Amino acid sequence: MELTGLVSSADLRLGPIPGPSNNCLSLLDEKTDFKVTLLPSNFNLENQASTSANVLNVDLEKCSVGMTSFIHEPLSTQPSTSRLRPWSIDDNVESTILLRYKKQHHTLYVTFLLFILLLIYAMSEGYNITAGFDPNLTPDLVRALNNRNTTQAYFGAQSLNINDNIRTRVVYFILDGLRFDATQTNPSLNALVTSPWFVHDSLILNMSAQLPTISIPNWQTLVTGARPSLHGRTGNDILTPFTFDSIFTSSMSVGMKNGITGDAWWSILLNGHLTPFYGDGTSPTLTNNFGDAYYTQGHSDHNKDIAYNQRFHNAINSQTVEKRSNGSNVIVRFDYDLFLSYYGDIDGESHSFGAQSSQTQSAIDDKVAFVRAGINAIAALDAMTQTHTIFIITSDHGNVDVGGHGGDVHVLRAVPCIVYAKDSQLASVNNSLPVYSTFDTVDIATSITALLGVPVPRQSEGSFISPLISALVSPSKWARLYFDLFKQKQALASALLTQWNQSSLKSQYASLFADDAGVNADVAGLNANIERLSALIELSKAHH
């Protein structure tokens, strides 16, 4: 509404002005003129008319939305035009309300935008972590370490015959998500490891898995011997082939044959690491049509594991023709020196139902049956040939009771390493080599190469599992294997110190890098220097 004419305290006919607020008032004195904007319903202007004109000045911002005001026409019929000022009370209220609304809307908009930006940043950082693949070695240094000419200069171009005139083979079972305590708590697994035919020829070790306790970082550790802090793989996203040396490339470099069955992720990681067959070293997947969900309630890899096991037995029953030195041909079944067999359902059931659930225990039962059948089938082949197979059963990580992994609690890091070799008396053989107080999963890949008599992976941070080497490798080969491990640690430490410009640290260990270091040392002396170099590698990474 628009008010015209002279407005003064003496001219106003006053009445109550409704409104919900007790403080919503703005009376502005302009030399006896009042501009009445809003008044609360319990305010009596007559009581204020005799007071000074500027007695009241209350902020309009305190007014409540929706207030109305009533101003009666003045008594004077001839207003002073010089003081005439058209104005609208309603416009003032509306503009104030809109202003406050815009401010609040702007604040909410900015807050929401900041939230979205922070969420995107957090997701990006999380993705960078889980998708990380930033090896702590430059490509040039990796290629230099992998140079076979350097290794062959002292090791030779052929594998060591660790058991004279007997072909030694390693079959490597990886049971994703299997905890160490399952060796005692699961009836099927406990029955296997305590069976009379198994217990005397086996060794069970409690291994420490790597952080983060996620599959792909630990898979890479299990075949390279390098920790995630060195190989750079920190999550399951963005799978790419790795360039570090592995048990597969090392054995293949001396003419050995290798293979793998399991999840398709392995074929991505190990691209270029496997012995080629049927063209490119892979075969069509058998697992795309089973309709398994991805870690939702009820998720199961049961059908996939059945397919993996079928392919494993297809490999066992496969036949190749081998030409003997005398020119004759012979048919050989399961013609592999190194074979990895992977199963994932224990982890899948643990995610969905928990590590102690009946579904997970059933998955462990199934895998034990698969492993037992595989051992029996291959042992039957070994009996017909001059072949000795060493079976290694391990895991990448455990699962918490409610399901899931990735942290550092004990049940996630404690995984079994079960080694079985028929007629080895592995459980009772005296260990004649240096013993470590604990073993780590980085030691598995390192030890597999020693059991095959080939150089250790060149980026390995592991050492030998000495009870295995002492029991399963001829003593005449020990010095050569330990010398190779010393040279590998020497080269890796030197590469890291050079890359990170840690010359002062290298000078403190100068004796370890002398050209003749380790040349005439015995196994005990080599092992002592290997331990010093391993400590130096960890120190170098910590200083980086």
**Residue 73: its pLDDT value, please?**
40
Mean pLDDT of 101-121: 82
DSSP 8-state code for residue 427: T
> Residues 420, 444: contact at Cβ < 8 Å?
no
Residue reference for tokens 């000078």? 507
Q: Which residues contact 448 (CB under 8 A, 6 or more apart)?
A: 170, 172, 247, 338, 392
**Residue 56: its pLDDT value, please?**
40
State pLDDT tens for residues 348-371.
Answer: 999 999 999 999 999 999 999 999
Among 21-30, 309-318, 406-415, where is mean pLDDT lowest? Answer: 21-30
d(CA 25, CA 35): 10
The pair of three-digit structure tokens given for residue 324, joined into one six-digit string: 């003997």
The pair of three-digit structure tokens given for residue 152, joined into one six-digit string: 């062959």
406: closest CA among 358, 342, 350?
350
The phi, psi pair for 95, rounded to 5°, reads -65, -35
The phi, psi pair for 223, rounded to 5°, reads -115, -10
DSSP 8-state code for residue 342: E
The pair of three-digit structure tokens given for residue 367, joined into one six-digit string: 């895998």
CA-angle at 267, arms to 266 and 272, nearest 5°:
115
Our measurement of the distance from residue 25's CA atom to the centroid of its chain's CA atoms, rounded to an integer in Å, reads: 64
Q: Which residues contact 251 (CB under 8 A, 6 or more apart)?
A: 159, 258, 337, 338, 449, 452, 454
Higher pLDDT, 179 or 49: 179
Spell out the alpha helix ranges (H) of 354-407.
Answer: 358-384
Mean pLDDT of 493-510: 92
**Residue 61: its pLDDT value, please?**
41
Q: 427: burial class by Cβ within 10 Å (0-12, 13-18, 19+)? A: middle
Higher pLDDT, 233 or 126: 233
Spell out the alpha helix ranges (H) of 204-290.
Answer: 215-224, 228-231, 247-253, 264-269
Among 106-110, 242-246, 300-304, where is mean pLDDT lowest? Answer: 106-110
**Residue 185: its pLDDT value, please?**
97
Q: Which residues contact 98 (CB under 8 A, 6 or more apart)?
A: none
State pLDDT tens for residues 119-166.
Answer: 888 777 666 655 555 678 999 999 999 999 999 999 999 999 888 788
Mean pLDDT of 166-187: 97
Among 54-63, 154-163, 213-222, 508-517, where is mean pLDDT lowest? Answer: 54-63
- Per-domain residue ranges of the chain: 1-130, 167-473, 474-544
Question: What's the mean pLDDT when you consider all of the chain?
Answer: 81
Bridge partners, 339 (sequence order): 171, 259
Answer yes or no: pTM beyond 0.85. no
**Residue 407: its pLDDT value, please?**
85
Domain over 167-473 is classified CATH 1.10.1040.10: no
**Residue 129: its pLDDT value, please?**
55
Residue 53 has pLDDT above 50, yes or no: no
pLDDT band at residue 59 under the 50/70/90 scheme: very low
Mean pLDDT of 406-422: 94
**Residue 537: its pLDDT value, please?**
96
**Residue 136: its pLDDT value, please?**
83
d(CA 467, CA 148): 28
Residue 421 has pLDDT above 50, yes or no: yes
d(CA 285, CA 328): 35
Helix (H, G, I), strand (E, B) or coil at 540: helix
Strand 87-88 relative to strand 2-3: parallel, antiparallel, unpaired?
Answer: antiparallel
d(CA 544, CA 539): 9
Higher pLDDT, 327 or 306: 306
The pair of three-digit structure tokens given for residue 123, joined into one six-digit string: 């997701």
DSSP 8-state code for residue 33: B
**Residue 321: its pLDDT value, please?**
81
d(CA 151, CA 147): 7
Higher pLDDT, 418 or 278: 418
- Tallying the residues shown for the chain, one arrives at 544
Counts of helices then strands in the chain (DSSP H, E): 19, 12
Our measurement of the distance from residue 138's CA atom to the centroid of its chain's CA atoms, rounded to an integer in Å, reads: 22
**Residue 338: its pLDDT value, please?**
98
d(CA 131, CA 239): 8
d(CA 468, CA 481): 13
d(CA 378, CA 392): 13
178: closest CA among 360, 375, 372?
360
For the chain, what percent of residues have pLDDT higher than 70?
75
CA distances for 312 relative to 236, 251, 323, 529, angstroms: 25, 20, 25, 41
Q: Which residues contact 17 (CB under 8 A, 6 or more apart)?
A: 38, 39, 40, 41, 43, 68, 69, 70
